[in-house]
Amino acid sequence: MQLAAKTKTPSAPEPAQKGPIVRDVQCNPMDPSLRQTILSQMKPSLSSYDGYHERLETAYGRTAEIRKYTKTLTKASRSSTNLEKTAQTLSLPPLLSLKGADGTYAVKRQLGEGTFAPVYLVENSAAALVDGDVSDENRPPSRVGKATHRKHLEAVKMEDPPNAWEFYIIRQSHRRLGVSRAAESVVRAHEMHLFRDECFLVEEYRDQGTLLDLLNIARLESGNGGGLDEMTAMWLTVEMLRTVEALHSKQLIHGDLKGDNVLVRFDDPGTETDWSPTYFPSGAHGWASKGICLIDFGRGVDMKQFVPNVAFIADWKTTEADCAEMRELRPWTYQIDYHGLAGIVHSLLFGKYMEIIGEKAGTALGQGATRTYKIRESLKRYWQTEIWSEVFHLLLNPLAHLEGEEGRRMPVLRGMRQVRERMEGWLEDNGEKGIGLKGTIARMEAIIREKRRKSVKNM
């Protein structure tokens, strides 16, 4: 059954928003009521966004059915015999027929749990019809009308209670980044269907796994239980630094950077491009097709909606995963992303979660800071210790690096760019030594491809 959507009628352009909506100088940016205030008052309004469909007067009521179906599939998948029996007795996959959607969405299985909601793999009927054979997960994007990035397999995040915030942050990210390398490293949000009881965020699906999956592959390959080889870890760090630097330059904060929120992006450079064994920081010669993709923007922050001198506070129970400012009840803004980045880099190098220790600072660091922080683990002597030390010092102590920043304020864009460019220079000079960076990535791609082939065969 399709439900009538709120139709968009042509009208005069909405007036531009003048200044930030939230005038408080101290607040919790994750507060649901504050976010709702932003969404209800911003201009242009959310209803003008392409792919946004709001039916708050209607309860859709599909959460229980979808959860039951995927739970049964998950249990059955533990045994091939059970899976065959279940396939014979289970009803047809739940179909999401959403007014305004590009086709219907057949739920195939659960991909995982996001920060706030489960994520499902779905088959887009419109894209499948164009693409023909729907069994191949490796096809390039289909061209369904204007939706040039749509594919026959996509991801749907189902949230209860409904919340359009992640859709807003992802769309703002792409709008502000424009056509750029950084934009290719941010997941695409195709549609948002908002009902009274639940909502469905339709997103791009990538099937090559997360950085944590990549780390596990490397550990099995090496057998040493540590992290990635230094060259690959440095390349991935460059990709993350470039993307986060670009988001921060547009006043956007991801808010939940961790290994399982960073997907691997090993795209095919295409037949017209030869992927060079020489590393090109510009992305030339096929290198732009290899990188990462940030997902799960549910804790994102749009700094444009706050006054310039805003100081955020964390009113939740903090853990080691939170930045020092949060744990010490000091104000924070962009530090949430810097600490998250440091944690990911640490896991890439050491294969374990980051622990930090504080040291009394020789000079005042601002915003009440009296200590500097460093990682507990010691860098290996044969690594590029100067570069890695600089990375961790910048990410764990950004207030100590404001000297060269515009207005001596966060974000530390200059600092991030400098350390990234230093890493890029090292990769240019050393990227072809041994098996080489390209060779390592190609080997990882082959392993991922084989794992994916086996998983598809067993579906």
Q: Which domains does the chain have, with CATH numbers?
A: 63-205 (3.30.200.20), 211-443 (1.10.510.10)
* Contact criterion met (CB below 8 Å) for 189 and 171: yes
Give the angle 286-287-293 at the CA atoms, nearest 5°: 120
Mean pLDDT of 188-210: 97
Q: What is the pTM of this model?
A: 0.90
pLDDT digits (tens, 9 = 90+) for 398-414: 999 999 899 999 999 99
Mean pLDDT of 304-313: 97
pLDDT at 141: 41
In 10 A of CB 456, how many CB atoms? 13
Greater model confidence, 359 or 36: 36
Whether 256 sits among the annotated catalytic residues: the reply is yes
pLDDT at 361: 67
pLDDT at 130: 52
Using pLDDT thresholds of 50, 70 and 90, give the confidence band for residue 226.
confident
Greater model confidence, 456 or 137: 456
Instruction: Kindly report the backbone phi and psi dihedral angles of residue 447, in degrees, each rounded to the nearest multiple of 5, phi listed first.
Output: -65, -45
3-state secondary structure 144-207: ECCECCCCCEEEEEEECCCCCHHHHHHHHHHHHHCCCCCHHHECCEEEEEEECCCEEEEECCCC
Q: What is the mean pLDDT of the chain?
A: 89
User: Which DSSP category does 339 fall into?
Assistant: H
383-421: b or e for each residue (b if 16 or more CB lie within 10 Å)?
Answer: ebeebbebbbbbbbbbbbbbeeeeeeebbbbebbeebbe
Using pLDDT thresholds of 50, 70 and 90, give the confidence band for residue 132.
very low
Which residues are registered as beta bridge partners of 105? 96, 124
Is residue 139 predicted with pLDDT exceeding 50?
no
pLDDT digits (tens, 9 = 90+) for 69-111: 988 887 777 665 555 555 555 668 999 999 999 889 999 999 9
Got the DSSP string for 210-270? BHHHHHHHHHHHH-S-S---HHHHHHHHHHHHHHHHHHHHTTEE-----GGGEEEEE----
Mean pLDDT of 26-44: 97
Is residue 317 predicted with pLDDT exceeding 80?
yes
> Which residue in the list 256, 302, 322, 337 is annotated as catalytic?
256
Using pLDDT thresholds of 50, 70 and 90, give the confidence band for residue 454.
confident
